[in-house]
């Protein structure tokens, strides 16, 4: 496995420079985008130094997706992927409370550019419905932990983690108001 390391927030600030002293002894030099590709054995050390690390092929940073479902819906892999910090706005007008079914893990994995065991990212789902609640429900391969309801005018944040290339967890980590 390789990983993309963003060089725009190294310890002490500034951009660029080499990374030395990695467990493998490798000296990494950033590319023209200020990023480097690191080997798996160096990822933990780089995280400990304060670098942002993302699996190769994952777009570091935010992604904003919109789904306009007006009734119970099954999400696609593309609805909940696209970066390391994904927001899904549920923008349809619900006529009643509805379930929001996750894609199968197979569909999630198919939507990821380079899925890796242990890969994790943040997913925020915003309920923009005027008066109704969405409830996130499971699908093949998922384990859900925490509160899965998303009241109107609020968001709920989750960590999506691939525990294998056929199983994933959705861990709820917080909620807030969409204003």
Q: What is the pLDDT of residue 35?
A: 59
**Prediction pTM value:** 0.70
Token readout for 64 is: 């904003």
Tell me the range of 84-88, 126-130, 168-172 where mean pLDDT is highest.
168-172
32 Cβ contact list (under 8 Å, min separation 6):
none
Token readout for 166 is: 């056929």
């Amino acid at each position: 496995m390789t990983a993309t390391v963003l060089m725009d927030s190294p310890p002490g600030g500034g951009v660029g420079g080499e990374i030395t002293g990695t467990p493998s002894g490798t000296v990494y030099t950033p590319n023209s985008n200020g990023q480097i590709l690191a080997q798996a054995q160096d990822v933990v050390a780089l995280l400990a130094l304060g670098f942002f690390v993302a699996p190769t092929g994952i777009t570091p940073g935010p992604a904003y997706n919109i789904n306009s479902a007006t009734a119970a819906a099954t999400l696609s892999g593309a609805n909940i992927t696209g970066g390391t910090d994904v927001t899904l706005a549920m923008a349809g007008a619900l006529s009643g409370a509805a379930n929001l079914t996750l894609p199968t893990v197979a569909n999630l994995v198919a939507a990821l550019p380079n899925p890796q065991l242990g890969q994790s990212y943040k997913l925020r789902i915003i309920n923009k419905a005027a008066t109704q609640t969405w409830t996130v429900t499971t699908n093949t391969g998922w384990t859900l932990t925490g509160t899965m309801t998303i009241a109107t005018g609020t968001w709920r944040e989750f960590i999506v983690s691939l525990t294998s290339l056929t199983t994933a967890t959705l861990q709820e980590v917080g909620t807030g108001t969409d204003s």
